[in-house]
Every structure is written in C-alpha cells, then in structure tokens.
Structure 1
Amino acid sequence: MSTRSSPRYVDDRIDRALVRPAAQQPSWPDPARVAAVRVRLGKALPISLPGEIDRLRRELALVATRRAFVAQGGDCAESFTATDSQVAGTLRTLLGMASVLTGRTGAPVVTIGRIAGQYAKPRSSDVDEQGLPVYRGDIVNTFAADAGGRVPDPDRMLHAHARSSATMSLVRRVGSVFASHEMLLLDYESSLLRPYRGDDRERRWYAGSGHFLWIGERTRALDGAHVALAELLANPIGVKIGPATTPEQAAEYVERLDPRHEPGRLTLITRLGHARVRDLLPAILEKVEATGRQVVWQCDPMHGNTEQVRGWKVRRFDRIHDEVRGFLEVHHALGSHPGGVHLELTGEDTTECLGGRSRPVDERDVSRRYESMCDPRLNGTQALELAALIADEMVA
C-alpha cells in the first residue's frame, strides 16, 4: 500500500496512520499503478458531501441521546453489475423498515444503507478452495473464479468510485438514506479524504467515500492503521464488536475514537451471536457506559449466526431475531438505549436466509435464488417482518 496521502492535501498525521500495520489489504502487483490511481482519486469529486455528513452526525446524536433509532442495511458485497432496479429495491426495503419502526414505536428512524461503496470484503484466507487468490470485493478483483481476474487490479478502485457516484445519485433522488460501508481498502479511503470545514482547533478530515464508515472485526487492532486513520475523521465512525472483544478494549475504542465526548460520533456494532449476546453484552455495555460517552449501540445479528447447510452458507431468521431480542433485553435491563440494527439484506426475493413468517424459506429452497457473492442476506419480506418484530418488542 502506498503511504503517501492525496497530493492535494498533505497531512503528516495521515502518513503516520497509514504506515501502521494494516490487515486485509490486497497485494497489488504494480505499486506504480496504485500510485497513479491514487492521484486520480485525489482529484475526483467525493461520493459524500460535507453538509450531508454533518447532517448524519446531528441525527446520530439524537440516537445516542435516546431520541431516535437506526435502521442500517444492504448488500454484504455490492456488485459493479447491480442494476438500478436492484438498488431501488434495497432502498425501498430500508425505507419500509423505517416506516414500520416509526409507525409502531413513534420514534424517528435514521436510515443508512450499506450502499454506494460496499465493494471491499475482508476474508479469512488469502486463497479460495480452488487455490486461486480469494475474492476481496469488486473494488479489488473479480468474483468469477478466473486466475487472471483474481489478480488485484488497482484500476478497479476507479471503477468503484464511478459506480459509487452513480449509486449515490439514485440514493439522493430517493432521499432520507445515508450511505455507509466498511472502511477497509486504505489506498482508496485515504485518497478520498477532504478537509473538514468545521470549527475545530485540531484539524480533522471528511472521508469523501461515504457518510458513515465502520471498522470491521478483522481490522479493529488498536495499534493498526484503520483505527489510527479513523481517529482523524469528522465522519461518524462505527466499530464491529465480536465475541473476542473485552470490555476494556471496547472502552479503549470509545476513548480513542470519541476524545471530544461528541454524542453519536461513535457507533459500537455488536456481533456476538444469538447464543452469547445475553452473556457477553452486559459487561461490555457497563464498561463503555462508565466512560461517560454517549455512543450509539447497534446490533448486527447476522455475522454471529452463520452456518453451512448442504454446502451453502446460510443464516436462520429465528436466530437473527433472537440475537436482536437478546440485545434489547440487555439494554432494557441495564437502562441503556438500544440504538439500532445493522443488517445484510436485499429487496430481491432471495433464498439465502432460512425461515421467516409469511413466506418461509426452508433448506430445500436455498439453491433456488442464492445470489449473494459473500454472505447470506435477508430478503425483502424477511427484513420487513424483522422490523415489525423489533418494533413490537421495543414497545412491549
């Protein structure tokens, strides 16, 4: 990875962040080409605008202060070939969930899509079962099992920027939805940094790649480049919190990433699994609350509940629902605010998650419409059913 920041805006702090250990980065075969792509991205228009980012910061402050709820969701991994109709279907599903939640709870809902930038994926291995370089998202290489296409190609970062811009145009036409993705590919993210226009004594930067960025479970090392870069951003930031996270580590994320005590600056996204959320969350929650920060607590009930069925990676609706229910129970018991959910979903009639209420998917259905390039997603019907269950439990 190149260690120089965008040629338009020089800041030694960015360079110091980027020379730290950086997990999950591709091995680019041509560093000179990476540098050339970074220069072009440094001159490109950002995907997210400063005023939009500032508005999301204000809305997440309402969540952190118990006055709103977050519905966040979208593709596990966006595709360069996604159609406008598919994008619109995801947006309709998110807005439908928000309408259900607001209608049944009376609380305003901040709607955030995993959209217009969710093109990079962390992986557990560098090679796949065929011995090819693993697929790391369309921003890096191809999903098709082709040796040439799996070679990391930095030009795909330019394609990702173009596709994100086009998708963001659709999002803006719909309105009321912010764009988010995992802050993973640091060559891309650092090239799209733009100066912060807020009234800060210590300069920060807008991440121009999206409104809300999160640090994933595999890149959340406290001494790593992802956390160091996130410290410099004016955008609201999320951190995924898995079962191995200690309460002390969670508190350190809060102190590092919310040094100014800004309500809603940081979102902690718990992904603990339905069988463990009730045991693990209380100590994490109490330790973080003791710091005095007002963070957004969000439940990701997807990643801790994945299994293999007949060779397919699936998730079960009832286990997804149970993790959210456990999340709500812990917050209600401790008097804290369950701020939202973070889901992998699609508006399409897919068969990647088993179960559901009105149109259940069983094991025999899985292969009928399994279209995800990485992880199983709730289909549109399942997502709306889950929103209704969450809303009923919030007001119970």
Structure 2
Amino acid sequence: MWKLDSWRSRSALQQPDYPDLERLSQVLDELRQLPPLITSWEVLLLRQQLAEAAQGKRFVLQGGDCAERFFYCTPDRIANTLKVLLQMSLVLVVGAQKPVIRIGRFAGQYAKPRSADLERRGTVSLPSYRGDNVNRPEFSAQARTPDPQLLLRGHERAALTLNFVRALVKGGFADLHHPEYFDLDWVEHSPLADEYHHLVETIGESLRFMEHVLGVRAGETDRIDFFTAHEALHLAYEEVQTRCVPRHTGWFNLTTHFPWAGLRTNHPEGAHIEYLRGIENPVGVKVGAEFTREQVACWLEKLDPQRAPGRLTLIHRFGARRIGDVLPKLIEHVRAEGGAVLWVCDPMHGNTQTTSAGVKTRHFADIYDEVEQAFEIHRAMGQQLGGVHIELTGENVTECVGGARGQSEEDLARAYESEVDPRLNYEQSLELAFLIARKMKSEANVSEPRA
C-alpha cells in the first residue's frame, strides 16, 4: 500500500548526506507549511494534453537548463529561456501541424544526480556538487557540505521564476505574432537558409491571417499554456510539497507539473519509483540502453497499471550510435505489456563527449541525428514520436560544438558556463527546432495515403 513516506522503506539513491539532521527537519517542516508552486487543476490539464500527445494529437517540447543555478533567477535569463522555448514551439507547430505542449525544465531543476559521491582534486576529496538545492560548486569543505537552508532558497527561487514566467506569458511576451523578430543572423551560415526563411514567412503569414480573420492579435485569442518539470531527485523535498487538495482525489506533487525519474534513480524497486507511483501528476522515466524486459514491465505495472494515456512518459536517451539497435527493443517490450506511453526523445545525454582538453561537450550533428533516427524508428514501427527533451539555454554560451556557425572545440572556452552538462545555446536550439520541423513535415508527407 502506498503512503506519502513509503519511499523511505526503499533504497534511495543520490540523496544528500546532511550532517545536521535537526536543521534538515526544521527546514522540511517549514517547507510543509509554505504555499504550493502550482495547482492541481494545472497538473490535470497537462495530463490531459499529454494523453492527446500519446494519441498523436499534440507534440511535446520539453527544454531548459541541465541544472538551474540560483543566480539564473534574473529577469533577463528567465526571459531569454522563455523566448527560445516559445520561438521553438512556434517553429514546431508549423512542422507538426498540431498543437505543441511547452514544458520548461525550470523553476525547480536545482538538484542533479552525480556519478560519484566524492570529487577528488589532487589529494583532497570532498562531496560532489549536487546542485544549488543541496550544496555549492566551489571546491571547499564549507561549500560542499550539504546545507538544508538551500532547500528553502531553492523553493523561493522557483516561486520567483514561475511568477515571472506567468507574468510574461500573460502579457503577450516576445511579440510572438511577429516571428520576423527572431534572432536569425545564424541562418545565413546554413545551407538550408532559404528553407528556414520560408518557414518563418509561413509562421508570420499564418498568424497574420488569424489576426485579420478574428480581429485580435495572435496571443490574445487564448492563453498560452506553459508547464514546468524537474527531476524528482531530492525525495524529502518532493514529499513535503506533495498534498491532498479539495475537490480532487489522490496526492499531487505541487512543486512541478511533470516530475521524472532519471537514469540513476529509475530502478523499479527503488525509492524514486515508489514515490512517483502514488502521485496524480503525469510522470516520466528516463530510459538508457541497459534496460530489461522485466524492468519495462515493472515500470508499467507500478506507474501506469491502468494503461492510461498521459500518465507515463518514457524519455529514451540512447545516443546516435545506439538508438537504431536499442529503441526497437524498447518499443517491442512496451507493446508486449500493453503500454499506452508517450514517447519522448532526449538526444542530449547519450551524446556527451569529452574533448582532449577534458571538457564535456556534445556535437550538434549527433543530437539531431538521434532525433531524426527516433522519428524514423517510431514511424517504421507504426507509431509516432511524441516529443523531444532538450537541455538548452537562451544565453550565448559555447558548450556544444557544431551548428550552422560551425562552433568548434576551440570556441568552448569563450563562454562555457555550465557546472554539469553542456547545453545548446539560443542559435543552436532554434536551428534544432527548424530541423525537427523540417523532419516532421517530411514524416507527415510519407505517412499520407496516396490518392
């Protein structure tokens, strides 16, 4: 039988080792009394929309920072992230010819799993940096000691971020009815420049037509739904913000609309899956190449026993070199269990490389290659890819190589900012959206029956 704290009886990986448990208890009690960040009706709305995506009626764009930093909570950074996600979604609407669900990987993505509990530099070993919700990145004993107070600060930063996002969206942010205002200088460096410009013109013409017919500006005809997501990693934090609400049955995680279990915490018998199985939110599971038929069956039985579209999203992350061999097997396993999952491709994590200088990066060509293969594999097996999960930023960072500008490994030092995984910058993110839209249009043409 599931209880709010039943996860505590399971193996809980990737949890901080707090030296001051009394202070941790005080902070959790305080968080338990604070207002939630989101509402249950928003959660149920997203679950309904994800059900439509699982049925091929919508497409999901999930994107944002690998790990948010507290200092990212500024008007410019928030606006830049929102801008690139909204602009990408407009491009994808044209390619998909269907509504796009926007899910920001922000307002709570302050904790990160790590491959090792300790980081060693020379003769000194300290706890690994686990995100701003837990400790600090500076390599000192004081900075790396897990601090419960940071959970409160993370909750406050998440609330501030979400409040500003909602205000921007409600206010008709970024002149979305004028896609000609997109920053498109990079397009001239692409061999597909003419095609991209035509796509932008198509967006503009469609929105202006809607404005002319309806007599209102695009964006004022209906509100833009925008949802948040983060990895449900720090289970004590997730627990204290999980609540019963009036007029709805069950428990809701009210820190985020869409929590997911990562690759390091997705064991079917582990604490994270135990926690996720009891909440009403739609939930995701990251799936790497080393899964088994038994694991897939357990995920489905625990997280979606009713086989209800919209409840469970499988986010596959295999890498461009392995997806062709591994994804068909995953699809077959899910089908054998009668799964009704939403399929989302994460083309980032399986394509991480380290340069000769020891810098983590990703190649733009590998990222798009995995997405392209995902579309083709799903179509060949008689179904559709329902979305993409991208680590990105609206800032002009240099963390991933490639793209229309031909960013090289030598360019990485110019503006490499991430403390964890490399992200696509604004130009690379928008270019990826154009390529995905182009692919989706070609997939639609292949799928259309001939007269």
**TM-score range for the pair, normalised by the shorter chain length:** over 0.9
Amino acid at match of 2:142: G
Contact 1:267 1:296 (C-alpha < 8 Å) held by counterparts: yes
Contact 1:313 1:375 (C-alpha < 8 Å) held by counterparts: yes
Cα 1:197–1:334 shift into 2, 3 Å: farther
What CA RMSD, in Å, does the superposition of the two structures yield over aligned residues? 1.4
Q: Deviations over 1:35-71 (max 9, x none)?
A: 1111101101111111211111111111011101000
Matches within 5 A, 1:167-186: 167-175=161-169, 176-186=225-235
Distance 2:253 2:264 in 1: 20
Amino acid at match of 1:356: G
Distance 1:165 1:351 in 2: 29
The residue matched to 2:360 in structure 1 has which SS?
strand
* Deviation for aligned residue 1:292: 2.7
Q: Deviations over 1:125-145 (max 9, x none)?
A: 111132221100000000122
Cα 1:322–1:12 shift into 2, 3 Å: closer
The match for 1:316 is: 363
The match for 2:18 is: 28
Distance 2:292 2:351 in 1: 20
Contact 1:142 1:149 (C-alpha < 8 Å) held by counterparts: yes
Q: Deviations over 1:307-330 (max 9, x none)?
A: 111221000000011111111111
TM-score by length of 1: 0.94
Amino acid at match of 1:140: V
Is 1:65 the equivalent of 2:55?
yes
Distance 2:343 2:431 in 1: 22
The residue matched to 2:238 in structure 1 has which SS?
helix
Identity across aligned pairs (percent)? 46
Matches within 5 A, 1:19-168: 19-82=9-72, 83-130=74-121, 131-168=125-162
Distance 1:222 1:105 in 2: 34
Question: Which protein is bigger by CA-based radius of gyration?
Answer: 2
Amino acid at match of 2:372: R
* Deviation for aligned residue 1:196: 4.7
Contact 2:351 2:366 (C-alpha < 8 Å) held by counterparts: yes
Matches within 5 A, 1:231-242: 231-242=277-288
Distance 1:389 1:251 in 2: 34
Amino acid at match of 1:188: Y
Amino acid at match of 1:205: W
Contact 1:196 1:234 (C-alpha < 8 Å) held by counterparts: no
Cα 1:193–1:227 shift into 2, 3 Å: same
Amino acid at match of 1:189: E
The match for 2:192 is: none
Which shifted more, 310-319 or 285-294? Answer: 285-294
Distance 1:18 1:111 in 2: 33
Contact 2:314 2:341 (C-alpha < 8 Å) held by counterparts: yes
The match for 1:361 is: 407
Distance 2:32 2:83 in 1: 33
Distance 1:324 1:212 in 2: 22
Contact 1:299 1:341 (C-alpha < 8 Å) held by counterparts: yes
Cα 1:279–1:12 shift into 2, 3 Å: closer
Contact 1:215 1:227 (C-alpha < 8 Å) held by counterparts: yes
Amino acid at match of 1:190: E
Distance 1:254 1:71 in 2: 23
Structure 2 unaligned spans of 5+: 170-224, 443-451
Matches within 5 A, 1:252-271: 252-271=298-317
Q: Deviations over 1:336-390 (max 9, x none)?
A: 1200000100001111000001x22111100000011210000011111111111
Is 1:303 the equivalent of 2:349?
yes
Distance 2:243 2:35 in 1: 10
Matches within 5 A, 1:242-257: 242-257=288-303
Structure 1 unaligned spans of 5+: 1-10
Q: 2:243 aligns with which of 167, 190, 194?
A: 194
Contact 2:95 2:436 (C-alpha < 8 Å) held by counterparts: no
The residue matched to 1:267 in structure 2 has which SS?
strand
Cα 1:324–1:345 shift into 2, 3 Å: same
Distance 1:220 1:293 in 2: 17
Distance 1:230 1:86 in 2: 30
The match for 2:386 is: 339
Distance 2:52 2:77 in 1: 31
Distance 2:156 2:88 in 1: 28
Distance 1:294 1:133 in 2: 40
Q: Deviations over 1:205-260 (max 9, x none)?
A: 11011010000000011111100110111111000000111233223212210112
Contact 1:247 1:285 (C-alpha < 8 Å) held by counterparts: no
Is 1:273 the equivalent of 2:273?
no
The residue matched to 1:13 in structure 2 has which SS?
coil
Identify the structure with the greater helix proportion: 2
Distance 1:161 1:377 in 2: 24
4+ residue segments displaced more than 3 Å: 196-200
Distance 1:28 1:91 in 2: 34
Report the count of equivalent residues. Answer: 382
Q: Deviations over 1:121-174 (max 9, x none)?
A: 000111113222110000000012222011000111000110000011012123
Distance 1:129 1:371 in 2: 21
TM-score by length of 2: 0.83
* Deviation for aligned residue 1:198: 6.0
Contact 2:105 2:229 (C-alpha < 8 Å) held by counterparts: yes
